[in-house]
Amino acid sequence: MIIKQILISTLVLCLAACGGGNSPGTAPGPSTGGGNNNPNNANDATNLLVSGGIEKFKNNTAVPDTFIQIQQSDQDANAFPSIAAITSRKADRLAIDDKILVTNDEDANNPDKGQLKVIDLNGFKEIGHFSNIYTVLALNFASDGTLYIDTVGQGLRQIDFSKLEKPVQSRRILTWFTSYESFVQNNTDADNILFQASGVNGLDIWSIEGAKDNEDVESAQGFEDDEKADKTTLLSRLTFKDKNDPKDEQAAPFQVRALAVPDQTVLSAAEKKKKTLLITARAGGVFVLDVTDPAAPFIRDRYFPKNTQIWDIAVAGSYAYLAAGTQIHVLNISDLDNIVPVIGIDIPGSVKKVRVNDGYVTFTLANAGVLLHRLTDDPKIKSNYTLIPMPAGEIAEEAVYQSNAVYVAAGTRILKLSK
């Protein structure tokens, strides 16, 4: 069983890295039928192909109005000087709430030892763990305290943390291939809708409530028949292809890597009813999607910067923050039909992860450290951007701010940098 899942995980990662995977013209899940009257999409509601730039909607390729540059020499070693650490085999993902920090702790040579660490924020010590979890791609807490774990080969897992010392798996959702990041939305009809950034497959939208069995999905994921897992129904798939090759059917699709939703506190009542999702496609920019009808989503706008790869996105208020390789881009998304780039930041190193939490945006810059952005102005602070160095030999994989501290997954250690 374990060997089968390892082989599938290895194959999926290889295909994703090489730009392979399922053909963009074939959706592997069960067809739900139905038409799609929106002219921006293909007619098959289970396989929406977005290619050729789609001239019917605006291509926003404007550059930010302002660019600033942050140098390695701008690091402030005194900003967060106090460091504590917890050892790990490999920690490169984090999830946080106001009480605990959760990180993956994996052993590539022995997946049986893979687990999640549960760390108490007050004492910064490990208080629990969840075993037999590996190939973690993303960790995200939902508003109800449930942890969603995106994996390669193990599906999407939901973990209940009502008992911190003994978290339990409340659900495992089988989906096709790999999901880089997921978002679960409750529809007005009480159906659970799962949105998944699935690499070269694009964006998959699933019904995960009362779905029929899907033996093909279960077989592809390597799960045994007697394992308990919820089945899913694929409602639609958006595959994004190179806008510069409108006639090339063999053009490699963009890898959809991350998802975000607009900040509900700043949306009008009309916008809340529309149900909008933002996705990032590596080398493809940001797409604003109307997902009111999950079986027939359509594009409202997009930001398509030139010569830049978009790896991650986070949203706070009326702004979206993009991890874009050697740059950071900030977009004004107050009008979701007309997103506007407002600032670009040239950074040392490379950024692939961005998180918003507790009033700060945290950009992870690998060996260049962590860039912290304060969301509210403070007249006592000269700059709202603080570049924090890592201890010698440490590489920041993912970082998040909470209660006057920055927590960093750095592979062999989880670090706490506090004021």
| Residues 6 or more apart in contact with residue 253 via CB below 8 angstroms | 19, 24, 200, 201, 202, 239, 240, 241, 242
Q: Which fold has domain 2-18+53-418?
A: Methylamine Dehydrogenase; Chain H (2.130.10)
Residue 359: what pLDDT?
Answer: 93
- Residues 293-348 have pLDDT tens digits of 888 888 888 898 878 889 999 999 999 999 999 999 999 999 999 999 999 999 99
Token code pair at residue 235: 């409602």
Residue 186 binned pLDDT confidence (cut-offs 50, 70, 90):
low
* Percent of the chain topping pLDDT 70: 74
Q: In what order do the strands lie in the sheet with 340-351?
A: 66-69, 340-351, 319-332, 312-316
DSSP 41-59: S-S-TT-EEE-TT-TTS--
Average pLDDT over residues 356-369: 95
pTM over 0.85, yes/no: no
Comparing 311 with 176, which gets the higher pLDDT? Answer: 311
Reply yes or no on whether the pLDDT at 32 is more than 50.
no
The answer to whether the Cα torsion of 32, 35, 41, 43 is positive or negative is positive
The answer to whether the Cα torsion of 23, 6, 179, 30 is positive or negative is positive
Mean pLDDT is lowest, of 25-39, 181-195, 293-307, for 25-39
Average pLDDT over residues 275-284: 91
With beta carbons less than 8 A apart as the criterion, state whether 93 and 101 touch: no
Mean pLDDT is lowest, of 28-32, 121-125, 128-132, 312-316, for 28-32
Average pLDDT over residues 192-204: 88
Residue 207: what pLDDT?
Answer: 86
Residue 213: what pLDDT?
Answer: 38
Residue 247 binned pLDDT confidence (cut-offs 50, 70, 90):
low
Report strand pairing: 115-120 vs 100-105: antiparallel
Residue 238 binned pLDDT confidence (cut-offs 50, 70, 90):
confident
Comparing 326 with 47, which gets the higher pLDDT? Answer: 326
Average pLDDT over residues 289-293: 90
Average pLDDT, the chain: 78
Token code pair at residue 349: 């190193």
Residue of 334, 353, 241 lying closest to 288 (CA atoms): 334
Domain boundaries, the chain: 2-18+53-418
Reply yes or no on whether the pLDDT at 30 is more than 70.
no
Residue 408: what pLDDT?
Answer: 97
Average pLDDT over residues 34-45: 30
With beta carbons less than 8 A apart as the criterion, state whether 385 and 70 touch: yes
Residue of 154, 155, 150, 118 lying closest to 136 (CA atoms): 150
Query: What is the spatial distance between Cα 374 and Cα 396, in angstroms, rounded to a whole number?
Result: 19
Average pLDDT over residues 194-202: 88
Tell me how many degrees the CA angle 359-142-396 measures, rounded to the nearest 5: 55
Burial of 191 (0-12, 13-18, 19+ CB in 10 A): middle
Residue 250: what pLDDT?
Answer: 63
Residue 214: what pLDDT?
Answer: 39
Residue 377: what pLDDT?
Answer: 66
Residue of 245, 301, 299 lying closest to 62 (CA atoms): 301
Reply yes or no on whether the pLDDT at 107 is more than 60.
yes
Residue 15: what pLDDT?
Answer: 38
CA distance readout (Å), 213 to 104, 113, 209, 216, 218: 30, 31, 11, 9, 9
Residue 419: what pLDDT?
Answer: 81
Give helix then strand counts, H and E, for the chain. Answer: 3, 29
Query: What is the spatial distance between Cα 67 and Cα 76, in angstroms, rounded to a whole number?
Result: 21
